[in-house]
Structure 1
Amino acid sequence: MSSVVASVLVVGGGTAGNTLTVLLRRAGVGVDLVEADPDWNVHGSGITLQGNALRVLREAGVWDRVRESGFGFDSVGITAPDGTVLHVQKDVRTGGDDLPATLGMPRPALQRILAEAVRGSGAGVRLGCTVASLDQDDTGVTAHLTDGTSGRYDLVVAADGLNSATRAMAGFPDRPEPTGMGIWRAAVPRPAGVERTDLAYGGPCFIAGYCPTGEDSLYAYLVEPARDRASLDPAGHAAEMRRLAAGYGGAWTAIREHVTDPAQVNYTWFHRLLVEGEWHRGRVVLAGDAAHCCPPTLAQGAAMSLEDVSVLAETLTTAGRDTPLGEVLTAYHRRRAGRVRTVVEASVQLGEWLLNGDREADVPGLMGRTMGVLCELP
């Protein structure tokens, strides 16, 4: 297979960076990956992966392990705060009929699977290390790393997340903006009978939801107005999540009993970001949360990042060797921009409707139109 690049530095060893590394290595491209976290990001509660995310993980050769480590399902329930089921909706299989509509799994499990795939690909990996500065010209990029070493590459991919330092280093002015919502998350044992995501709108929070992540595991979340995070004592996180969860019945009764360890509870804000214009500056290109992010109201954050790296790997490795790199990176952006904008804007709109208490909002219509777009290949 031809490729317009022979050597790539991937900055960021999360879901997007790891998957891109595997896809490029499968095409014979030389890849080094650097990740600032010495533990390689093996932390977090759970992750919801819709079919279009699973399709990319299958492309990267890890679907069998993901399937074994997670819990797949094909419907979503809407409940009253007391747990009464109001409606059950069949979910859209955005990855095709041969993949579940949705799969939940522990986020650390996904990270371990992808990290092992990166190691097995033969890519160079440096943990506890990232880019200190970049010098680029018409023929390549010299990356100076925080461990004092440097390397020369045809392309640098900024996959270092929402607050990407590489994005800023490359000259992009875009920064994430909070949307006004915050979310509590915790991993707990899965109560008997919970076999899908259920969402309760109303009660003490905007949303109370959970997603099964395995035969015996689940992650639960509560969405509320954003608070000043500096005022929240981490030692009280479990108690605060239990207090909010007390306003919900059904499976939440069992979930609440297991929210006891503050270290297993995290609180973060929702943000939005969509880098306008091209996603590359010379030989540095953005992917995943470094290029865009949105509230998880559609559970499409990971899927959009995974689609990015699938399209980026494809465009890099199928263009003719003599194709100018700038043209290839423009083609990547062109394929992603409209689809990503649709998801970001819909996700933000859903959040705004909740914040404003808009009871006339056409939530089913917006979600249906958006998921219809996502059934098409990116």
Structure 2
Amino acid sequence: MNRVKKILVVGGGIGGLAAGAAFAQRGIETDVVEIQPDSGVLGIGINQPANSLRALKNIGVLEQVCDVGFQYDEWKYNDEEGNLIARCPSSMGGDGIPANNALARKDLHGILIGAAKQAGATIHYGKTITDLLDHGESVDATFSDGQHKNYDLIVAFDGISSAMRKRLFGDAYEPIYTGFAVWRVLAPRPDDVKCINLFQSTGAKAGIIPLSKDWMYLLNVTPEPDVRYEPNRFVNMLHERLAGFGGIIGEIRDHHLKADSTVVYSPLRECMLPAPWFKGRVVICGDAAHACSPHLTQGAAMALEDAVVLAEEITADHGRAVNDALNAFMRRRYPRAKFVQDASHQILADEMAVTSDNIAAARIKMAIDLPRQMAAADAFLNQPA
């Protein structure tokens, strides 16, 4: 039995940090390398549904994320003026796990850095792999600083543009642009905003998600060309794209979207690496393997589950053969990741297909279908990862 004793995690985002914590907590010597020069994170807020919170509980940080976040147990779908179309109570959670907990992305990132370091993982910034050599029983890594080191396993959480995915599988599974993007900006939270509220317009959707006692964030999904916009245009461009919304979205647009507001713009790209996600002693995880649109708020959840499940399988039975562990990992992870990607993409497609000609019928369909669709997704994802 060739027990895994040393692991390299490539990528210091949510999945990579969770993996660093999960491996180190199980007694594995763990290095995490992050190509960015520091631990700064780009983003506004992030929802963590119950399945994600279970993964966070597994690495011991559930209480921390709940202390700084905002818990809620339903989603509301509205028209562009704020009139209710459908209310979707969440059936996720239980046994002390909230249905959802949303928080600032930087807070989640900081908590995971602390968990990884406390467990004994070593995090290196401004560093990545430049070459690797898989010997079958171990793999040699060459780093951008010229260092060389041998590992029993390399785990890549290096994001949707993953260099490690390309290294292992070539260009065949590069991300595909959906034709849509999401804009996000922070705003003060009124007392009556206590859950996700989404607002459907023609060919666009807006939403608000509470993050804390004081703050929430606005999101806006719009069709966009596959071009790079200049960040100094983001505020004006978002203001223009929110023109069709009234109610609370209009209020944020008119009173809280300022010239100095930090707007984050993210083109929505998808990637699904066919099983298996590994070759030899290297495995691809998180967005590098299965990036999805954010319509079920499951992107980070899938990465967190990847981290915990991989750690469980590698250390099962006091350490099993690596190939057996990776195959067991795939049996548990591929169906869930594929479900999330397919369901999220369908929601995106349905929302963006709403036009001025079909919007009345679309609202009726939403009122009938959304509670059933969300309940089915909850039931599937509330099962153990």
**TM-score, with structure 1 as normaliser:** 0.93
* 1:78 to 1:209, Cα distance in 2 relative to 1, 3 A: same
Asked if 1:269 is matched to 2:267, the reply is: yes
Indicate the SS of the match to 1:186: strand
- The answer for the alignment partner of 1:33 in structure 2 is 32
Name which of 195, 205, 208 aligns with 1:207: 205
Alignment deviations for residues 70-121 of structure 1 (CA, whole Å, 9 cap, x no partner)? 111111112221122333321221x434222111111011111111222222
1:320-374 residue CA offsets vs partner (Å, 9 max, x unmatched): 44x3211110110011111211111111112222233383684444333222111
Aligned counterparts of 2:187 and 2:348: Cα–Cα separation in 1? 26
Q: Which moved more, 1:274-283 or 1:240-249?
A: 240-249
Contact persistence 1:133–1:169 (CA under 8 A):
no
Aligned length: 373
* 1:40-119 equivalent positions in 2, closer than 5 A: 40-93=39-92, 95-119=93-117
Matched, 1:377 2:384: yes
Larger displacement relative to structure 2 (266-275 or 12-21): 266-275
Using the TM superposition, give the Cα deviation of residue 198 of structure 1 relative to its aligned residue in structure 2, in angstroms: 0.4
For residue 132 of structure 1, the aligned residue among 127, 130, 133 is 130
Corresponding residue SS for 2:233: helix
Q: Which of 212, 215, 231 in structure 2 is aligned with 1:217?
A: 215
Secondary structure of 2:247's counterpart equals: coil
- Quote the offset at 1:53 in angstroms: 0.4
Q: Which aligned pairs between 1:228-243 and structure 2 lie closer than 5 A? A: 228-230=226-228, 232-243=229-240
3-state SS in 2 of match to 1:340: helix
In 1: Cα distance, 2:303 partner to 2:251 partner? 33
Aligned partners of 1:178, 1:3: CA distance in 2, in Å?
A: 41
Question: Hey, what's the Cα distance between the residues in 2 that align with 1:307 and 1:261?
Answer: 38
Unaligned runs of 5+ in 2: none
* More displaced 10-residue stretch of structure 1: 51-60 or 38-47: 38-47
Tell me, yes or no, if the aligned pair for 2:205 and 2:222 is still in contact at 8 Å: yes
In the alignment, which residue of structure 1 is the partner of 2:179? Answer: 180
Question: Does 1:350 find its partner at 2:347?
Answer: yes
Equivalent-residue separation in structure 1 for 2:259 and 2:37 (angstroms): 24
The alpha-carbon deviation at position 319 of structure 1 amounts to: 3.6
Q: CA separation in 2, counterparts of 1:237 and 1:315?
A: 44
Q: CA deviation at 1:272?
A: 1.5
Question: Quick check: 170-179 or 189-198, which moved more?
Answer: 170-179
Aligned residue type for 1:233: E
Question: What amino acid does structure 1 have at the position aligned with 2:31?
Answer: D
SS of equivalent residue, structure 1 residue 252: helix
For the residues of structure 2 that align with 1:354 and 1:188, how far apart are their CA atoms? 24
Name the structure 1 match of 2:373.
366
- Distance between the aligned counterparts of 1:262 and 1:28, measured in 2? 46
Pick closer, same or farther for the CA change 1:40–1:87 going to 2, 3 Å. Answer: same
Percent identity, aligned pairs only, is 34
Task: Give structure 1 stretches of 5+ with no counterpart.
Answer: none
Counterpart CA distance in 2 for 1:26 and 1:371 is 29
Shift of 1:69: 1.0
CA 104–294 in structure 1, closer or farther in 2 if over 3 Å, else same: same
Choose which of 322, 325, 343 in structure 1 pairs with 2:322.
325
CA RMSD across the alignment: 1.9
- Whether the aligned pair in 1 keeps the contact of 2:2 and 2:321 (CA below 8 Å) is no
Per-residue deviation, 1:185: 0.8
Amino acid of the structure 1 residue aligned with 2:333? R
Runs of 4+ in 1 over 6 A off after TM superposition: none
Q: State the shift of 1:310 in Å.
A: 1.2
1:156 is aligned to 154
Q: Distance in 2 between matches of 1:152 and 1:241?
A: 48
The answer on whether the counterparts of 2:90 and 2:375 sit within 8 Å (CA) in structure 1 is no
Q: Which amino acid aligns with 1:341?
A: K
CA contact (8 A) 2:181 2:265 kept: yes
